[in-house]
Amino acid sequence: MSNPSHPVHTSELAGGAPSAGEPDQTALRDPARLAVLAASNLVGSPAEEAFDRLTRLAAGFLNTPLALVNVVDHEKQYSKSCFVPPDWPGDVEAPLADSYCRWVVVEREPVVITDARLDDRVAASRMTTELGLVCYLGIPLLLSSGVVLGSLCVAGFEPREWTEREMAVLADLAASVVTEIELRLDLSARKQLERLKDELVSVVAHELRTPLTSIRGSLGLLASGSMDPGSPQARRMVQIAAQNSDRLVRLINDMLDLERLESGTLELERTHVHAAVLVEEAVDAVRHAASAAGVRLESGVAPELTLLADRDRVVQVLVNLLANAVKFSPQGGVVTLLAERRGEEAAFQVRDHGRGIPPEMLDVVFDRFRQVDSSDAREKGGTGLGLPICRSIVQQHGGRIWAASVVGSGSTFFFTLPVAGGGVGGGR
Ligand code: ADP
């Protein structure tokens, strides 16, 4: 067992001689780390007793004039809690170049400094040259996700050898700081989730209200008795009510499908199935709509291409993509469905020569209720849930789905699925 009062030297903990100059910026700029830091709401927020109590304890236990909870982003160091002498001229914010704690974030290890004037990492820092800091001990604020946000540190104005016992005490206090930070992160994640849920409820309510209003309007007119029930206008009202009821049923079915897919309650029934069988089934399903719209369907499938997939769900994806391609094609247009093998994947594409999708919408159309044009739902009879359902099905199979398009020339939707081992399977 090591002697707990044995002094610890910089080189023992930082893995050799201190590195000079600037640390590698990769860790400081890591977008995932910065996102967690932003969600923690530690930067720029007011002091909190929960953190101040811990810096007071740190300064008390280690008998140092300074103890701080510092977090570091890609530009500056921010002190969430400062236990400092009353006449301390330092600020709660410091440029990154002056920060001792940036070394803790980069090294992901305790930084132990006996004499800052002799340590290449911090000798030139304004903290050393102007504020007179000499000794420093910083413990990483290491979250359970592996992210280091900053450090709990103590510092003083005289050279000092830090003991293992002191490091252990500071490490325990740093763990308490981390607990506080993780509580805040949990809370902010929960609030974000609630906000998303509220948004979804309001979008869904809006989507349901539109067809309901139309049904209510048609039935109201018929019920008022002001219209001859046999007249063409009355028949039109009934037709509108029926179309909108269909739309409501589609919306609710799609919402239930998506919910079951995303919550994982819908188990995929994977079997070996020939791609040609799925393609034929999907093309048959949209043939009527295509001929009504004057659109020609073409397909090409690599022979013997066999998937390990849920047959009905893959047909659902193909039908959705084909139906969209038909909907957005001009009369006389051609929609092409191709399936081929690429390595261990089956690659599908559905191509049209319709109006296309602007580049900034290519990802967005896979989100719920997102449409390129807000009139698409009404005029094209869509629900805005087709592509999110496709994405969910493809991803559950371990595949990918994306779109490419040139506005005015057409769109191509691509997706991949795993092939059955060897590419020749039983079929179904
Ligand atoms: P919808 O039921 O409205 O078709 P989707 O989720 O399937 O819902 O599609 C979302 C939106 O993406 C459509 O409303 C349309 O704006 C756009 N979109 C989808 N496929 C195409 C396509 N082939 N060409 C042009 N726009 C498309």
Q: What is the pLDDT of residues 22-45, one digit of tens each?
A: 778 888 999 999 999 999 999 999
282 and 170 part of one domain: no
Atom of ligand 1 nearest to the CA of 352: 23
Q: Report the chain's mean pLDDT, rounded to a whole number.
A: 90
**How many angstroms does the Cα of residue 365 sit away from the middle of ligand 1?**
7
Q: What is the pLDDT of residues 281-294, one digit of tens each?
A: 999 999 999 999 99
The SS3 assignment for 354 reads coil
The answer as to whether 424 is a domain residue is no
276 and 408 part of one domain: yes
Q: Are 248 and 208 in contact (CB under 8 A)?
A: yes
The answer as to whether 17 is a domain residue is no
Mean pLDDT calculated for residue range 4-20: 43
Q: Which of 189, 211, 239 is the last residue of a domain?
A: 189
Q: Are 339 and 346 in contact (CB under 8 A)?
A: yes
Strands in 250-295 per DSSP E: 270-274
Mean pLDDT calculated for residue range 97-109: 95
pTM to 2 decimals? 0.62
Q: What is the pLDDT of residues 325-340, one digit of tens each?
A: 999 999 999 999 999 9
pLDDT at site 197: 85
The answer as to whether 168 is a domain residue is yes
The answer as to whether 423 is a domain residue is no
Whether 323 lines ligand 1, by a CB cut-off of 6 Å, is no
54 and 184 part of one domain: yes
Residues spanned by the domain of 99: 31-189
Tell me the CATH number at 393.
3.30.565.10
Q: What is the pLDDT of residues 71-89, one digit of tens each?
A: 999 999 999 999 999 999 9
**How many angstroms does the Cα of residue 333 sit away from the middle of ligand 1?**
17
The SS3 assignment for 417 reads strand
Q: Output the residue whose Cα is nearest ligand 1's atom 21.
A: 324
54 and 158 part of one domain: yes
Distance from chain centroid for Cα 53: 35
Whether 325 lines ligand 1, by a CB cut-off of 6 Å, is yes
Q: Which of 189, 219, 251 is the last residue of a domain?
A: 189
Q: Which of 5-14, 82-91, 114-123 has the lowest mean pLDDT?
A: 5-14
Tell me the CATH number at 108.
3.30.450.40
The yes-or-no verdict on residue 424 having pLDDT over 80 is no
The answer as to whether 10 is a domain residue is no
Q: What is the pLDDT of residues 367-398, one digit of tens each?
A: 988 888 877 665 666 778 899 999 999 999 99
The answer as to whether 386 is a domain residue is yes
274 and 386 part of one domain: yes
The answer as to whether 241 is a domain residue is no
Q: Output the residue whose Cα is nearest ligand 1's atom 25.
A: 356
* Cα distance between residue 176 and residue 70, in whole Å: 14
174 and 285 part of one domain: no
168 and 293 part of one domain: no
CB atoms within 10 A of CB 427: 15
294 and 381 part of one domain: yes
Q: How confident is the model at residue 120 (pLDDT cuts 50, 70, 90)?
A: very high
283 and 379 part of one domain: yes
Q: What is the pLDDT of residues 231-261, one digit of tens each?
A: 999 999 999 999 999 989 988 988 888 888 8
The answer as to whether 144 is a domain residue is yes
Domains contained in the chain, number: 2
133 and 277 part of one domain: no
Residue to mutate (ligand 1; options 387, 402, 406, 411; most atoms within 8 A of CB)? 387
53 and 175 part of one domain: yes
* Cα distance between residue 289 and residue 335, in whole Å: 12
Q: Which of 74-88, 170-184, 263-277 has the lowest mean pLDDT?
A: 263-277
Mean pLDDT calculated for residue range 405-413: 96
177 and 271 part of one domain: no
The yes-or-no verdict on residue 109 having pLDDT over 60 is yes
Q: Which of 189, 207, 222 is the last residue of a domain?
A: 189
Range 200-203 contact pairs with CB under 8 angstroms and sequence separation of 24 or more: 200/368, 203/368, 203/369
pLDDT at site 427: 36
Whether 384 lines ligand 1, by a CB cut-off of 6 Å, is yes
